[in-house]
Amino acid sequence: MMLGRTGRNLFWLSRYIERAENVARLIEAGYRMALMNAQAGTSSEDLVSMMQALSVEALFFEKFEMADLRAVAQFMIFDEDNPSSIKSCLRHARTNARTERTALTTDMWESINGSWLEFIQMRPNQSSEKYLPDLLTWVKKASHQWRGALLGTVLRSEGFAYGQLGNFVERADNTARILDMKYYVLLPRATMVGGELDIQQWALILRATSAYRSYRHVYHDRFKAWNIADYLILRPEMPRSLIFCTRWVQETLDMLTSFHGGRSKAHEVADEMSAMLEGSDMDQIFRTGLHEFLTEFIGRNYALTEAIGESYGFY
Amino acid sequence: MHHLNVSSSEQGVPLPRDTEPFNEMLNADGSVREPYLVLSEWIGSQPLPALKTMTIEAENLFRRLGITFAVYGSSEATERLIPFDVIPRVISAAEWRRLSKGIEQRVRAINAFLYDIYHRQEIIRAGRIPAELILQNEAFCPQMMGHDPVRGIYSHIIGVDIVRVGPDDFYVLEDNLRTPSGVSYMLEDREAMMNLAPDLFRQLRVAPVETYPENLRRTLESVAPAGRERSPAIAVLTPGIHNSAYFEHSFLADQMGAQLCEGTDLIVDDGIVYMRTTQGPQRVDVIYRRIDDDYLDPLTFKPESLLGVPGLFDAYRAGNVTLVNAPGTGIADDKAVYTYVPQIIEFYLGERPILNNVPTYNCTKEDERAYVLEHLDELVVKEVHGSGGYGMMVGPAASKKMRKDFAERIKARPGNYIVQPTLALSTCPTFVKSGIAPRHVDLRPFVLVGDLIRITPGGLTRVALKSGSLVVNSSQGGGTKDTWVLED
């Protein structure tokens, strides 16, 4: 027995923690690019496109004139006007956890509460960017700790399922957005050998999805645009790929049928997403248009969130 | 008349120094009182830095668990810890037997009184309590007239505030019959002490408190509406995450396996209360509500309430759900009605009260009013319907202007005030900045009334951390201590 409100809060609690982790990866990747390609005190295109991927760039330029690393880091980490900043994500996650304290194990609660208390006590010297790598590593660790506490201690009941759904819906959204922000560097071209700048852009995508090293393990090859798109969309062994996330969502929805005694509208939407991916290949996707494909996926993923809320009485 | 230097737990007062307060550990000659023999040795063997370390450990534990209370206003500072004192308070088995007998007697009589007030009102007919004191009281709930709650119980969960002024002198300050809080601190303080000083628990036989959540569940189950085939579905109704006691609400729900709900999580359909679950509406049988009467149901009480559940009161009156505590229990812990509790005990039980009431002057009587106006500098004045320290004056601490102001108010509306002597709360050894020093304490034992009356041994001890201060309220910097009832 679980309140619909609790289901919603667990779903979003997971989403926010996953988002905090993804934002940290994105800033980390953007940080490397900005160090190499932008002078201190100048605007960085990569940082702007990163904010575009998260749909917060308009808000950023309401507050700042120039997207240099210092301003973007401040905005993306500490600014609570930014709904996707790490601080906003952690605060939402922790508020949801506090509200649903009774649905969490002690280990889960202590993980999220402890991370929040540590985070708000951090007073990095923001006059330089030196604090960034350590802090971003800390954010990823906090997310890992949460996941560890969750997987290691929670009952495999309804609440677990809603958390998993939130986790994978959010992750798929992030991966799709990161791909979309750089889709043009992934398009097949007359020359299959990328230039220096392409290599850097590809590395940015891979780092932001935690795929930089594992790419080699899967492809044993130099960076190729085709492979990178394939890896993040269609490879079922890649835990941040769209197909991985979608399969996990389906599996979790199947688990929920044992509590709810049947398939729901959410199953239908997930099946449609699955149909976009299963049995498809990059050839087909490039023919449809990569950008069009990603836009459609993001739209369906949004519809999935709505359908989950409707099917399981979230309010 | 009594010449005592005591105070309510709500007072912020320097103590008048004409009598020494009762020290629970040390006799006047410096020898150690019997219940404290082991503890006093332990205290002597702890270097101050060790106590400091224990304090920090306990605070870290509380912060990690989220045992905080909300402070309205600023953002990061909105959650604060209640200071925890690492030196426990000890009560002997014999002392506790007497206390718990007195408490049980009191809650029995009060529930009988509530039943009577909402039925035939024999006590008014018998002329033992003035009709207008009940019928014109804001805490009287006319909607409850004629309703028969399960087992005839109105107040199931009670936290009686008790102060001690001598070896055998205990006074009840307030009965707290509505939605008393603090029980989570009692439980967590014990957890902390067991972590910090396991050696002491091996040397002393301390009565357990950890049975409280199970007993709470049993109590709630025992008052579920009759005729359910499954075990009753229990909900804890909270005003929400911003309420200062939210931690306690979620803690209790968790510990007894109940569903924590806000008003919006419940709906009433055709007189039946349901929770809105992921699998559709599920019926609720018992609601332990931590929302005040006025906010329970906008259709019956305050129409602007957003915290409550429309239709809840009708569902209750129809006997489809049990509300714990019942609406309207506040009439029995109103400050003016409080003064009648000794008569209430005698009227319904035919017994002499075991625990004292604080002697109270009735300003509507001319001779008592005259005495009060003469002695305002030694007395405490409380507004009859006030709580939380509002509308209150502590004579020894008040300015001349304030005393004059209250004298005028008493003359204008004598029925609106009660007046009591300032009592000298007992002291316990407490770890403070300067080392170990006696500090004033009170005690809130927790009582459950259902198929049985269950009183958890001990309760919550609140301690005023400032030297000489009688303010134990957490909102004013008071702390808590673990409370040990020794077993024979």
Cβ separation B265–A5 shorter than 8 A: yes
Q: What is the pLDDT of residue A261?
A: 86
Residue B2, chain A, CB below 8 Å: the answer is no
Pick the CATH number of B226-320 from 3.40.30.10, 3.40.630.30, 3.30.70.2190, 3.40.50.11290: 3.40.50.11290
Q: Are residues A54 and A67 in the same domain?
A: yes
Cα–Cα distance measured from residue B250 to residue A237, given in angstroms and rounded to the nearest whole number: 40
Question: What is the pLDDT confidence band of residue B9, given thresholds at 50, 70 and 90?
Answer: very low
Q: What is the pLDDT of residue B8?
A: 37
Residue A4, chain B, CB below 8 Å: the answer is yes
Q: Are residues A169 and A281 in the same domain?
A: yes
Chain A: closest CA distance from residue B292 (Å): 20
Residue in chain A nearest B233 by alpha carbon: A1
Pinpoint the residues of chain B covered by CATH 3.40.50.11290.
226-320
DSSP code for A3 = B
Question: What is the pLDDT confidence band of residue B3, given thresholds at 50, 70 and 90?
Answer: very low
Tell me which residue in B63, B246, B282 faces A1 most closely, judged by beta carbons: B282
Cβ separation B66–A4 shorter than 8 A: no
Q: Are residues A13 and A104 in the same domain?
A: yes
Q: What is the pLDDT of residue A15?
A: 97
pLDDT tens string B429-487: 999 999 999 999 999 999 999 999 999 999 999 999 988 887 787 766 789 999 999 99
Q: What is the pLDDT of residue B1?
A: 31
A113: chain B residues, CB-CB within 8 Å: 64-66
Residue B260, chain A, CB below 8 Å: the answer is yes
Interface of A with B in 141-200 (CB under 8 A): 158, 162
Interface of A with B in 114-133 (CB under 8 A): 114, 117, 120
Cα–Cα distance measured from residue A172 to residue A246, given in angstroms and rounded to the nearest whole number: 8
Chain B: closest CA distance from residue A160 (Å): 13
Cα–Cα distance measured from residue B267 to residue B271, given in angstroms and rounded to the nearest whole number: 10
Tell me which residue in A2, A102, A114 faces B278 most closely, judged by beta carbons: A2
Residue B280, chain A, CB below 8 Å: the answer is yes
Cβ separation B64–A110 shorter than 8 A: yes
Cβ separation A101–B66 shorter than 8 A: yes
Question: What is the pLDDT confidence band of residue B78, given thresholds at 50, 70 and 90?
Answer: low
Nearest partner of B464 among B119, B9, B38, judged by Cα: B9
Cβ separation B278–A117 shorter than 8 A: no
Q: Pick from A124, A154, A184: which residue ends a domain?
A: A154
Q: Are residues A214 and A127 in the same domain?
A: no
Cα–Cα distance measured from residue A235 to residue B441, given in angstroms and rounded to the nearest whole number: 66
Tell me which residue in B251, B278, B282 faces A312 most closely, judged by beta carbons: B278
**Range B359-421 has CATH code 3.40.50.720:** no
Residue A313, chain B, CB below 8 Å: the answer is yes
Q: What is the pLDDT of residue B397?
A: 79
Point out the residues of chain A with pLDDT beneath 50: none
Residue A259 belongs to what domain range? 156-315
Residue A260, chain B, CB below 8 Å: the answer is yes
Q: Are residues A46 and A114 in the same domain?
A: yes
Mean pLDDT rounded to a whole number for chain B? 90
Tell me which residue in A98, A109, A259 faces B241 most closely, judged by beta carbons: A98
Q: What is the pLDDT of residue A1?
A: 87
pLDDT tens string B328-377: 999 999 888 999 999 999 999 999 999 999 989 988 889 999 999 999 99
A88: chain B residues, CB-CB within 8 Å: none
Tally the C-alpha atoms within 13 A of residue A226's C-alpha that lie toward its C-beta: 15
A9: chain B residues, CB-CB within 8 Å: none
Mean pLDDT confidence for B111-118: 98
B64 has a pLDDT exceeding 90: no
Q: Are residues A73 and A99 in the same domain?
A: yes
- C-alpha separations of A178 from A206, A209, B155, B331 in Å: 10, 8, 59, 63
Which helix or strand (DSSP H or E) is residue A305 part of?
helix A290-311
Do B114 and B328 touch, CB atoms closer than 8 A? yes
Cα–Cα distance measured from residue A232 to residue A133, given in angstroms and rounded to the nearest whole number: 24
Cβ separation B259–A95 shorter than 8 A: no
Q: What is the pLDDT of residue B296?
A: 95
Cβ separation A117–B63 shorter than 8 A: yes
A102: chain B residues, CB-CB within 8 Å: 250, 253-254, 259-260
A162: chain B residues, CB-CB within 8 Å: 278
ipTM: 0.78
Cβ separation A315–B63 shorter than 8 A: no
Chain A: closest CA distance from residue B12 (Å): 33
Chain B: closest CA distance from residue A242 (Å): 27
Q: What is the pLDDT of residue B242?
A: 87
Residues 6+ apart with CB under 8 A from B246: A98, B70, B238, B239, B240
Q: Are residues A265 and A226 in the same domain?
A: yes
How many structural domains does chain A have? 2
Q: Are residues A128 and A31 in the same domain?
A: yes
Chain B: closest CA distance from residue A158 (Å): 9
Order the strands of the B272-277 sheet from edge to edge. B266-269, B272-277, B280-283
Nearest partner of A194 among A157, A232, A228, A163, judged by Cα: A228
Which segment of A39-48, A131-140, B74-83, B111-120 scores lowest on mean pLDDT?
A: B74-83
Residue B76, chain A, CB below 8 Å: the answer is yes
Q: Are residues A125 and A22 in the same domain?
A: yes
Cβ separation B277–A3 shorter than 8 A: yes
Render the burial of A229-251: b for 16+ CB within 10 Å, e for the rest. bbbbbbbeebebbbbbbbbbbbe
Chain B: closest CA distance from residue A162 (Å): 10
Q: Are residues A127 and A209 in the same domain?
A: no
> Which one is predicted more confidently, B9 or B122?
B122
Pinpoint the residues of chain B covered by CATH 3.30.1490.270.
359-421
Q: Are residues A6 and A116 in the same domain?
A: yes
Question: What is the pLDDT confidence band of residue B6, given thresholds at 50, 70 and 90?
Answer: very low
Q: What is the pLDDT of residue B72?
A: 54
Residue A2, chain B, CB below 8 Å: the answer is yes
Tell me which residue in A102, A120, A162 faces B250 most closely, judged by beta carbons: A102
Chain A and chain B share a number of CB contacts under 8 A equal to 68
Mean pLDDT confidence for B253-274: 95
Q: Pick from A93, A126, A154: which residue ends a domain?
A: A154
Q: What is the pLDDT of residue B14?
A: 38
Mean pLDDT confidence for B175-188: 94
B63: chain A residues, CB-CB within 8 Å: 117
Q: Pick from A139, A154, A169: which residue ends a domain?
A: A154
